[in-house]
Amino acid sequence: MANPTLLILPGDGIGPEVMEQVERIIGWFGDKRGHAFDVTTDLVGGAAYDAHGTPLTDETMAKAQEVDAVLLGAVGGPKYDDLDFSVKPERGLLRLRKEMDLYSNLRPAQCFDALADFSSLKKDVVAGLDIMIVRELTSGVYFGEPRGIQDDNEGGRIGVNTQRYTTSEIRRVARSAFELAKRRSNKVCSMEKANVMESGILWREEVSWVHENEYPDVELSHMYADNGAMQLVRAPKQFDVIVTDNLFGDILSDCAAMLTGSLGMLPSASLGAPMENGRPKALYEPVHGSAPDIAGQGKANPCACVLSFAMALRYSFDLGEEATRLENAVQSVLAAGTRTADLMQAGDAKPVSTKEMGDAILAELDASL
């Protein structure tokens, strides 16, 4: 059988540095575990703009549509701040998400024991935390029409955005959440504002429909999103999978992310409809940006990007055990006190470089055999 295909888009800033470590790890899975990938590398963001005058060429977009999964580093940087909006680095990423129709954004919030002190919450509230926020990514108030700013003809202005969801948009992201829950603790909490928004009422009804008709064995609860925000910081371990819309998901996933400490540790996946081979359209990327303040200095933490590849192993390639092997390797490296600069606390030994962190993860992978 042909090897699965991966398109790697390192991007800008620390993107290429962290991706270099991931490429070593991808190589390891081919050499040591018999899971080889056919990897193509290309440009996105500012790097693509510098080479081609656009943050994503049509050729790269076409490749992204063909491969089994895309792995992206980060885009953006001060060099591109003054570019026209239409060619800003972020447009490359948005085009990928839009044209691949990646409607389900998976943001795990997992607290590695060795990093429990990094959370702004008490250690016992977050130690062992492992939740997944599923955010609808392609609809809702960020896309709904009408939108814009107009004169009110009385000397003032009116800003308008429209929260709009259809049955099929809600049902497909709900299915994605229920499927995930089946691989985890079989529990979904759906969050909206059905108390004050009609779109919230529809959201609740459609999620319930999918539950009753397709996933009756998964436990489903509903919560108003404002209460959800409170519960996330009060007792986050009560949740397993949270499913919510684009706007609430944006806020709740960032809130949950900070439960775990450092941006350098946070992976994500954006999934779309299944392709002919059954694999979902998929883009995996760290949550962090291009970190221009540390780019090119060998200081970046590659773990978020490494853990994004672990998500690819699990969600695109059905290699859950190998994903766990990689996550455990990261866990062991941290437990041994190996830290990049972003994970240092007063009194810690010297930080390791991006490459040394990659070396340590590879050594742990070897030790796992």
To 5 degrees, how large is the angle CA 40–CA 45–CA 48? Answer: 65
The Cα–Cα gap between 31 and 91 comes to 36
When asked if residue 290 is in the footprint of ligand NAD (CB under 6 A), the reply is yes
- From the list 304, 306, 307, 357, which residue makes contact with ligand NAD (rule: CB under 6 A)? 304
Closest CA relative to residue 318, chosen from 362, 278, 272: 278
- One of 250, 281, 315, 342 is an active-site residue; which one? 250
Q: Tell me whether residue 14 or residue 43 sits nearer to ligand NAD (CB atom).
A: 14
When asked if residue 261 is in the footprint of ligand NAD (CB under 6 A), the reply is no
Q: Position of tokens 């080479």?
A: 51
- From the list 55, 76, 92, 249, which residue makes contact with ligand NAD (rule: CB under 6 A)? 76
When asked if residue 47 is in the footprint of ligand NAD (CB under 6 A), the reply is no
When asked if residue 306 is in the footprint of ligand NAD (CB under 6 A), the reply is no
Contacts with 321 (C-beta within 8 Å, 6 or more apart), sequence order: none
Q: Choose one: 63-71, 231-239, 251-259, 300-308; the region binding ligand NAD (CB under 6 A).
A: 300-308
Q: Tell me whether residue 138 or residue 290 sits nearer to ligand NAD (CB atom).
A: 290
The Cα–Cα gap between 205 and 199 comes to 10
When asked if residue 266 is in the footprint of ligand NAD (CB under 6 A), the reply is no
Q: Tell me whether residue 89 or residue 280 sits nearer to ligand NAD (CB atom).
A: 89
Structure tokens at 317: 């390639």
When asked if residue 75 is in the footprint of ligand NAD (CB under 6 A), the reply is yes
Closest CA relative to residue 243, chosen from 196, 194, 187, 195: 187
When asked if residue 339 is in the footprint of ligand NAD (CB under 6 A), the reply is no
Binding residue count for ligand NAD, defined by CB under 6 A: 22
The answer to whether the CB of 281 falls within 8 A of the CB of 68 is no
- From the list 289, 319, 332, 362, which residue makes contact with ligand NAD (rule: CB under 6 A)? 289
Nearest residue (beta carbon) to ligand NAD: 289
The Cα–Cα gap between 268 and 270 comes to 7
- Would you list the DSSP string of 120-168? SS-HHHHTT-EEEEEEE-SSGGGTEEEEEEEE-SSS-EEEEEE----HH
When asked if residue 301 is in the footprint of ligand NAD (CB under 6 A), the reply is yes
Binding site for ligand NAD (CB under 6 A): 14, 18, 74-77, 90, 93, 263-264, 285, 288-294, 300-301, 304, 342
Question: Annotated catalytic sites, by residue?
Answer: 142, 193, 226, 250, 254
